[in-house]
Structure 1
Amino acid sequence: MIRRSFLAFAALLAAFPALAQEARALTDAERDLITRINEHNSLIKTMVGRFLQIDTRGQRIEGTFFLERPGKILFRYNPPSYEQIVSVGRGFYVVDRKEKTQYAYPQDKVPLRQFLDSQIDLFKANIVAVAQSDDYFSVTLQDDTPAGVVRVALVFDTESLDMKQWTLTEPSGAELTFSLYDVEKDVAIPKSYFYIDPTFRSKSAPADT
């Protein structure tokens, strides 16, 4: 079960005005905090844990995730879903294990890629907004893609410097929020977890809703 502190954090994030802020120069304190976030998270080579995904319509789905730097991540949704999202450094694939299908997004067009580098440097990304409370710090990155503007707001604990949540905003305005909990760091992950089955049928990504 998700802890009460996690639920309080999710409510706090909803109050962040990050996407409404106009781009501005970072303060020295903000630059220092982002530098420490870069350094801390670059030292974490693997992470595993659980996630809660909430979409624009409020649908909630849970699952497990596995991350290995550089470039590898797997989100495995809990049953009855057969879907998973996987990256092996060349792109993000949405896989349906039951239908044996997959569709891909280029990795260089997904702002979250900045957090998968072996050496994280958020200053290299297009930072368009920041927001801060007593306990959390949000950095919003933006990419211009062929489909339109994509944004991702990364949220970090200001004490531990760990990432706790991110919200992806698609060109349509639809949002997808991933919140992380029960996280373990620097654990061994089987290589077979980061695998794109070449026998799965490719299909087009669904249109934004």
Structure 2
Amino acid sequence: MIRRHALMLGFAAALVSAFPAYAQRTLTPEEQQLVSEINAHNGAIRTMVGRFLQIDTNGGRSEGTFFLERPNKIAFRYAPPSREEIVSRGSGFYVVDRREETYYAYPQDSIPLRQFLGTEINILSGNVVDLTTTDGYLSVTLQDQTIAGTVQVSLVFDTQTKDLAQWTLVEPNGSQLTFSLYDVQQGVEIPSHFFTFPSTFKGRDPAKN
């Protein structure tokens, strides 16, 4: 079974932060322009579907499909035999186990990837601690405080298409989780039930706290 704190894209790592407090990086005018173009391009994409490959620190691989609808809706469905999913429907992120009919919930505002899910995208609104451009890709690293401690997320964009290609999360204990996207389609109509699960499932909802 996929680790639950890894399922939350490193959002709920269980250990106290091991990261020092880095200062926000100052970007050059050229870097600011490129990031602004990435913000505008991705902010104009209302829906996106595709496949993902997840690789953890130990080399473990998991695959599945993802569905994104702005604002604030995203779902990751892991390929069988897993019955677990990650679902966001605006009020929080949920790790759903359809076999056990349970879910684990986390507040939306504690999720580092939230900068990419809003109606308008502004990556620079986060705490940018690093930015590098290599072989046609731009990597922007954000550091954020979560309910479990400090985590880092590196968003990797194709500098030509401006599309998101990959992201890597580093948990407070130093373990990493990388998601690579492929077979991506934009502007696809996504059924609303893809971002829901039965109300009979047992768990905790942050919107009701």
Tell me the secondary structure at the aligned position of residue 41 of structure 1: helix
CA distance in 1, matches of 2:82, 2:147: 30
Asked if structure 2 preserves the Cα contact closer than 8 Å seen for 1:110 and 1:150, the reply is: no
Asked if structure 1 preserves the Cα contact closer than 8 Å seen for 2:47 and 2:188, the reply is: yes
Written as runs of structure 1 = structure 2, the 5 A alignment for 1:40-79 is 40-79=41-80
Q: For residue 144 of structure 1, what is the aligned residue in structure 2?
A: 145
Tell me the secondary structure at the aligned position of residue 135 of structure 2: coil
Tell me the secondary structure at the aligned position of residue 161 of structure 2: coil
Q: For residue 6 of structure 1, what is the aligned residue in structure 2?
A: none
Once the two structures are superposed, residues 3-24 of structure 1 have per-residue CA deviations (whole angstroms, 9 ceiling, x without a partner) of: xxxxxxxxxxxxxxxxxx9753
CA distance in 2, matches of 1:144, 1:167: 16
CA distance in 2, matches of 1:180, 1:68: 16
Pair 1:80-2:81 in alignment: yes
Q: For residue 38 of structure 2, what is the aligned residue in structure 1?
A: 37
The alpha carbon displacement at 1:164 in A equals 0.3
Q: For residue 191 of structure 1, what is the aligned residue in structure 2?
A: 192
Asked if structure 1 preserves the Cα contact closer than 8 Å seen for 2:85 and 2:97, the reply is: yes
TM-score by length of 1: 0.84
Deviation beyond 6 Å, 4+ runs, structure 1: none
Tell me the secondary structure at the aligned position of residue 45 of structure 2: coil
Structure scoring higher RCO (CA < 8 A, sep ≥ 6) equals 2
Asked if structure 2 preserves the Cα contact closer than 8 Å seen for 1:76 and 1:84, the reply is: yes
Asked if structure 1 preserves the Cα contact closer than 8 Å seen for 2:47 and 2:186, the reply is: yes
Q: For residue 207 of structure 1, what is the aligned residue in structure 2?
A: none
> Which 10-residue stretch deviates more, 100-109 or 41-50?
100-109
CA distance in 1, matches of 2:129, 2:46: 27
CA distance in 2, matches of 1:146, 1:161: 31
Once the two structures are superposed, residues 64-115 of structure 1 have per-residue CA deviations (whole angstroms, 9 ceiling, x without a partner) of: 0000000000000011110110000111111110011110122111110100
Show structure 2 runs of 5+ residues with no match.
Answer: 1-21, 205-209
Asked if structure 2 preserves the Cα contact closer than 8 Å seen for 1:22 and 1:129, the reply is: no
Q: For residue 158 of structure 1, what is the aligned residue in structure 2?
A: 159
For these two proteins, the number of residue pairs brought into alignment is: 183
Structure 1 vs Structure 2: percent identity of aligned residues? 60
Tell me the secondary structure at the aligned position of residue 202 of structure 1: coil
CA distance in 1, matches of 2:184, 2:164: 10
The alpha carbon displacement at 1:124 in A equals 1.0
Show structure 1 runs of 5+ residues with no match.
Answer: 1-20, 204-209
Tell me the secondary structure at the aligned position of residue 116 of structure 2: helix
